[in-house]
Every structure is written in structure tokens, then in C-alpha cells.
């Protein structure tokens, strides 16, 4: 509350410094928030595209695997899957987007040649190969979707955090500081008026005392002159 602040010029200067600093911080955070929102919208567009691609790729992969099972049998499909020797590898790095650290996922051994799949030319068929190709493409899309979705969530979290900070400055801290500033300025003005009134009273009193002293002096001078005049005739006699 404003009344908890001592109305001194030192406190007024300190509050003015805090207001200036808070306003600069508010402007900086607003710029950061707007920049984050622009980056988020770009990532959101990318995420929507990736989601659509994942959905389409998944449907294609399902059709391919269903066809392979229907034509080659479930045992052959499972055998081809079990022959896989090298599994995909995932590594993560970090990148900075306007102060927000988001993951950058890198993958290897996702897409494989026939030799790398392990089952060989004789142990497979064109339909199994097509199904394998489709699921490799699906896995690559899922990895990209994971990167984009994670980045989007982190950006959204940072946007909400920045919004809360902007609102705290705009609707809580700055109004309270301005209230304290106005309170101190008002109190200092009251003190100044009281001091001017006090000095005026002192001046008026002093002038009144000086006037009274001058009046008393004049009376005394008059009485002395009258006494001297009264003594002069007696001396002549």
C-alpha cells in the first residue's frame, strides 16, 4: 500500500528509478512475447503440415502391410521384421529460438537398403519391401513430428510465462509504483505548503514584532522629546 511508503525525496527518486526500469522491462518482454508468438505460429503451421503427413503416411503404411499380410502371410511379414539387425538410432541436440531451448532430433539408420534389412532378396517379396519402405517413411515423419510438437509445447509454455510477466508488470507492479509515486509527491507538496505557511507565519510575526518595536521606539522618543520641552521653560525662569 502507498501509505506504507515514507514520503521522502529519496524514496521518490528510488521509485522513479524502479518505474523507469520496470517500463523498460515491460517493453522488452512485450517485444519478446510478440516475437515468440510469431515463431510459434510458424511452428504451428509446420506442425499442422507434419500431422497431416503423418496421417497420410500412416494410412499408406497400413495399406501396404495389410496387402503384404494378405498376399505373403502374417508369418512371412513377422519373419521379415524379426530379421532386422540394425535398429534406428536417435540423438538429440538443442537449438535456441528467442531464448527458448528446443530439441533438435537427429536420426540415423531409419531408411535402409534391402541388404541392411537383414532378410535378403530371397527371404522377401516386393510387397514386404513396399511395406518396409512405407513404415520407414512413417518413422521418419513421426521423428520430425516429435521434434516439432515438442518445440511447439516449449514455445507455448514460454509465451504463457512471458504473458504472465507482462501482465504482472502492467497490471500489478507499475500501478502500485505509480500509486506510491503519486502518494509521495502529494505528501511532499503538502509538506512544502506547510513549510511555506510556517515560514510566512514566522515572517509575519517577525514583521509584527519589528513594527511593534518601532512603534514603541517612536513612543519613547516622543515622550523623551516632550519631557525635554517641559524642562526648557523651567530652566529659562
Domain range summary for the chain, segments of one domain joined by +: 9-177
CA angle 47, 53, 56 (to 5 degrees): 145
With a cut of 70, say whether residue 13 has pLDDT above it: yes
Which residue has better confidence, 2 or 177? 177
**Is CATH 1.10.357.10 what the domain over 9-177 is classified as, yes or no?**
no
Per DSSP, 122 falls in state: T
E strands, the chain, are 89-97, 100-108
Q: Across residues 125-154, what is the average pLDDT?
A: 91
Burial class (CB in 10 A: 0-12, 13-18, 19+), 11: middle
1 pLDDT tier (thresholds 50, 70, 90): low
pLDDT at 121: 57
pLDDT at 79: 81
Contacts of 157 (CB under 8 A, 6+ apart): none
Q: Across residues 104-125, what is the average pLDDT?
A: 74
Residues in the chain: 237
Could you report the per-residue pLDDT of 164-190, keeping only the tens digit for each? 999 999 999 999 999 999 999 999 999
Q: Across residues 81-92, what is the average pLDDT?
A: 81
pLDDT at 173: 95
pTM of the model: 0.72
pLDDT at 112: 78
pLDDT at 222: 77
Are 177 and 22 in contact by the 8 Å Cβ rule? The answer is yes
* Max Cα-Cα span within the chain: 169
Q: Average pLDDT over the chain, rounded to whole? A: 87
Amino acid at each position: 500500500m502507498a501509505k506504507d511508503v515514507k514520503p521522502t525525496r529519496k524514496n521518490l527518486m528510488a521509485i522513479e528509478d524502479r518505474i523507469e526500469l520496470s517500463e523498460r522491462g515491460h517493453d522488452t518482454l512485450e517485444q519478446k512475447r510478440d516475437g515468440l508468438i510469431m515463431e510459434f505460429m510458424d511452428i504451428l503451421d509446420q506442425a499442422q503440415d507434419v500431422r497431416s503427413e503423418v496421417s497420410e503416411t500412416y494410412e499408406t503404411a497400413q495399406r501396404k502391410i495389410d496387402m503384404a499380410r494378405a498376399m505373403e502371410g502374417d508369418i512371412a511379414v513377422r519373419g521379415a521384421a524379426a530379421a532386422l539387425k540394425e535398429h534406428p538410432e536417435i540423438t538429440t541436440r538443442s537449438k535456441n529460438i528467442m531464448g527458448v531451448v528446443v530439441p533438435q532430433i537427429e536420426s540415423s539408420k531409419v531408411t535402409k537398403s534391402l541388404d541392411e534389412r537383414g532378410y535378403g532378396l530371397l527371404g522377401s517379396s516386393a510387397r514386404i519391401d513396399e511395406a518396409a519402405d512405407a513404415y520407414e517413411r512413417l518413422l521418419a515423419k513421426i521423428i520430425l513430428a516429435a521434434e516439432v510438437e515438442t518445440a511447439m509445447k516449449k514455445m507455448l509454455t514460454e509465451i504463457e510465462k512471458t504473458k504472465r510477466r507482462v501482465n504482472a508488470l502492467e497490471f500489478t507492479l507499475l500501478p502500485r509504483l505509480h500509486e506510491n509515486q503519486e502518494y509521495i509527491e502529494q505528501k511532499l507538496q503538502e509538506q512544502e505548503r506547510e513549510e511555506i505557511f510556517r515560514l510566512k507565519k514566522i515572517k509575519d510575526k517577525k514583521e509584527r514584532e519589528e513594527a511593534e518595536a518601532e512603534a514603541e521606539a517612536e513612543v519613547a522618543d516622543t515622550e523623551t522629546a516632550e519631557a525635554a520641552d517641559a524642562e526648557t521653560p523651567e530652566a529659562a525662569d
